[in-house]
Structure 1
């Protein structure tokens, strides 16, 4: 297709857990090109890692496709969102000293306990907006120091978000945004700066940590050597961008208490916004937001889309099909009935951080009978995630007035209906939701370039909720799911001694 030679574009990326997604958008948010490339996660027991080089290789591949589609002279800036709460140690030359330790990896539980004992649980909560646990990067850094001292000795820089590694490769600058840095367990969430008190408690130097920026602030420019590998012009501005929760929350359009957004990615969360951190509810994670002075209140789940992928693979294996045959799972789900014949599934495949903080918990089925079908097993898995999400909504303060859904899980229509039925609320599901975070983060670059006055000026132009498919609760669904939900809430307390 012939492009307007006067049109300028923002190259945007979302560096997720399962894929890197790139979208080339114009200044109105209209995509000119989009590409998603899967990346691998490395598992060793309960440890979960990724090779940062795979992020860079995938980013380069997408970028080179973009610059075939649009002349690099018409790409005016780069900006990204990415997974948060990782530990990414780099040496002095900005090369990874080891694999990135991912957010879902809770190996640093003992280190977290020691940091919390030194600082005090309530003090840690007041400083960071969050509880201290072994999934946070600060305890993970202490774990690296104690268990991999040779690697720690080579570490000159620590990054928190996958996209920040790409920023460092592009610009030579180690920087991070305050949204992703909120997950580090080391940032004063009110002051938006690294806390000397917390770093001292862990016995690590602040010099390791990146410069903190707002999403719309410029990190630097594309270096000549990076431009040669990626196809962009040297000197192209690169902006800080945001952790994925910041982009997703902005894309969902929630702006006042009572509006909630569900994200169904590999992991998931329920998000709301407020004018201050929510410190009174156990399990609520607090992040700085892209608009300054606001906060995102998040109930995070380790198990969401990964459960969908797992059950799709299991059912495909039974039928001799490809593990990624999600269409076949969709057909099977249409044969299921609400309540799955009384079968319940506890969806803690990789441990869980909410509604329980238990890295050792595992998934299980309860209530199997000779009449249980494959359709029951498939549906029960997705109902289990929906029950966890209901527990998350009940933990947040304001009564739900509206609930939207974003993320790849929104493509599974039966799952969307399950969520509406379990929550007893209409669910507005964004079309093309897997690309929205990457498109929305373009607002940070446009704000940084002075082309818009606020984030909302751009996101309002994307169409809003009229682009949604709406799912309303079926009549009688509360009678089915109410008793099952009560049983579900009792499962982990009854089973936790078995792990």
Structure 2
């Protein structure tokens, strides 16, 4: 019998909802952009998110085939941005607009929190910056002292939609709680939040593993949409949802998403502690750890410098690899991972044609990816044996071949890895399935498997070592 699961993705620019079956097959989906003002990177209306969400659910569920039995829809979950927070009053109404992860006004508070946290947390996340929820909470207390007495609870973006669906606002998950100061090692809100920062204990949510059922769909909404017995599952952050949708959820699995930037996430037995702060670890629902990091290097250089006829550039690269050139297509000044160097600049080989530069840049990103994984292996003591991949950069066959040969591991390209699908998998993880590992294994599909090319592996080993030597010569490594 078919079972259905709804995933909701509340992004910065818009929202998407998806309905999939127990094997991850898409039954229906729809999306809509938000109408945003100039303040949208700092503040957004949670009510606007909910209004958009209900419109999309109306549209999707009303448009289902007449012969589909809606009673097969079993659960719903939500993903949204990490670090976005909302103060609620005692009636669960927003005291203020949502403070977005991209709001930089809490930079000064973040520096103070980082210093305090470093003294109180030995093995855990202390890399607080302006994008973190706890920084925004402290900023709000200072900017709006008159509103502090009206706050009953601080919640995250995904929690607001979960609350609107179920009436339960009090619960959040491991991934959302991390950047609000929750200690994932001890599984507690650390005392310094209250004793040193002035956060009230009653403002802090109950924290549970991602995938936990927190309630049922409100009766009025169930009647409106013609649904029965739909369970509501706690939310999850967008980066973790995408990782889950890629299929990289088992111990030893790793995912590289190449979009504008390169993001690496994986699953390890032990928490990964990076003294340089380049990486941090989420808690896996099954007790493992989900470390990850993000580079400023990705595929944005293609959009900027090779915007037309990408197939032509890829065909040319096929004939030119390995180039033997050391290149690094870093568009902006500064890199954060795998090297933390604010003054880093692009490396552009001299006397090189544009076709060669394109191919060399593909190789350069692959070298950055390998260096990132070498650091992970060094810090975790665990071996990388395969990499799942997603994002626009994974659509290039020649790039997949380069990356598999530079990394010298198989690369598995997933068919679909959207945040909404990740949320739907989480909805199924403890309702239809017994775990997120089981759910992801059944609900994700690999589109392509790419293995290292033995001829390229030998030559890329030399080129990679030259790449590292160049970084050392520039004092980047």
> TM tier, shorter chain?
0.7 to 0.9
Distance 2:86 2:135 in 1: 13
Distance 1:414 1:176 in 2: 45
Equivalent pair of 1:9/1:76 in contact (CA under 8 Å): yes
Using the TM superposition, give the Cα deviation of residue 72 of structure 1 relative to its aligned residue in structure 2, in angstroms.
4.5
Using the TM superposition, give the Cα deviation of residue 240 of structure 1 relative to its aligned residue in structure 2, in angstroms.
0.7
Tell whether 2:148 aligns with 1:167: no
Aligned to 1:203: 198
Equivalent pair of 1:79/1:239 in contact (CA under 8 Å): yes
- TM-superposition CA deviations, 1:222-245 (whole Å, max 9, x none): 3356568x8464873211143344
**Per the alignment, do residues 221 and 310 of structure 1 end up closer, same or farther by CA in structure 2, a change over 3 Å counting?**
farther
The residue correspondences of 1:25-64 to structure 2 (distance < 5 A) are 25-37=20-32, 52=46, 55-64=49-58
Q: Flag the structure with more relative contact order, 1 or 2, with Cα contacts below 8 A and sequence separation at least 6.
A: 2
Stretches of structure 2 lacking an aligned partner (at least 5 in a row)? none
Equivalent pair of 1:340/1:376 in contact (CA under 8 Å): no
- TM-superposition CA deviations, 1:54-99 (whole Å, max 9, x none): 6435433432232021564442321233332333444554337234
Tell whether 2:383 aligns with 1:399: yes
SS of residue matched to 1:62: helix
Distance 2:49 2:356 in 1: 38
**Per the alignment, do residues 35 and 88 of structure 1 end up closer, same or farther by CA in structure 2, a change over 3 Å counting?**
same
Distance 2:89 2:358 in 1: 45
Distance 1:415 1:21 in 2: 29
Using the TM superposition, give the Cα deviation of residue 285 of structure 1 relative to its aligned residue in structure 2, in angstroms.
0.8
Aligned to 1:323: none
Normalized against structure 2, the TM-score is what?
A: 0.79
Aligned to 1:276: 270
**Per the alignment, do residues 427 and 234 of structure 1 end up closer, same or farther by CA in structure 2, a change over 3 Å counting?**
closer
Aligned to 1:141: 137
**Per the alignment, do residues 280 and 477 of structure 1 end up closer, same or farther by CA in structure 2, a change over 3 Å counting?**
closer
Equivalent pair of 1:22/1:34 in contact (CA under 8 Å): yes
**Per the alignment, do residues 471 and 60 of structure 1 end up closer, same or farther by CA in structure 2, a change over 3 Å counting?**
farther
How many equivalent pairs are there? 460
Distance 1:183 1:115 in 2: 14
Normalized against structure 1, the TM-score is what?
A: 0.76
Distance 2:305 2:142 in 1: 38
SS of residue matched to 1:404: strand
Stretches of structure 1 lacking an aligned partner (at least 5 in a row)? 1-5, 320-327, 495-499
Tell whether 2:468 aligns with 1:468: no
Aligned-pair Cα RMSD in Å: 3.9
Aligned to 1:124: 121
Distance 2:202 2:179 in 1: 15
Distance 2:289 2:193 in 1: 21
Distance 1:25 1:36 in 2: 15
Equivalent pair of 2:412/2:450 in contact (CA under 8 Å): yes
